[in-house]
Amino acid sequence: LIESDIICEYLIDSHGKNSTLKSFFPKSDQKYQDQKRLAIMNGTMSAGVKLIRAKRSEIPNFENYAMFRQEKETFRVGLAWLNEDLGNRAAYYEGQFSLLEITLMCLSEWAIFREMVPSLNDYPHLLNFVEQNKARPCFAKTHPTITG
């Protein structure tokens, strides 16, 4: 097992059967839609990491290379798709808190922290999502600007 979300799901399947947490995806009839969402979040983050690596490697004018232009567009399109898919919700499923919300919050705040986007103003549903969830202790205590 090599992907963190797969590892977590495996641990729940193998060791969490008696737990109230049965799956990271709250609705089994939406499993494939939720896996698609997670894949888009992971792909968006991966594109951002490649752009950061290029910048830190001091590749001159890396923005002029097709690969990096494609990664930048992948990042932008990923955020736009997630914004549209989320709509004006604070969670994907009302009253549920899942791997989807954790991943989306990490991606959204990381994008700003790493200056991938100046703000989430172009993604109003993501901005609303962050505003509605940022006070959750698990997010407030682990925000990337907290030093330690």
Q: What does the alpha-carbon distance between residue 105 and residue 64 come to, in Å, rounded to a whole number?
A: 30
User: What is the predicted pLDDT for the residue at 16?
Assistant: 61
Residue 4 in tokens? 């963190």
Q: CB atoms < 10 A from the CB of 34, how many?
A: 20
User: How many Cβ atoms from other residues are within 10 Å of residue 140's Cβ?
Assistant: 11
CA distances (Å), 46 to each of 3, 75, 81, in order?
A: 12, 8, 16
Query: Cβ atoms within 10 A of the Cβ of 119, count?
Result: 9
Per-residue tokens: 32: 């494939």
Residues 129/86, Cβ–Cβ less than 8 Å: yes
pLDDT in 10s for each residue of the chain, 148 residues? 666 777 767 776 776 666 555 556 666 788 889 989 999 999 999 999 999 999 999 999 999 999 999 999 999 999 999 999 999 999 998 888 888 998 999 999 999 999 999 999 999 999 999 999 999 888 888 887 876 5
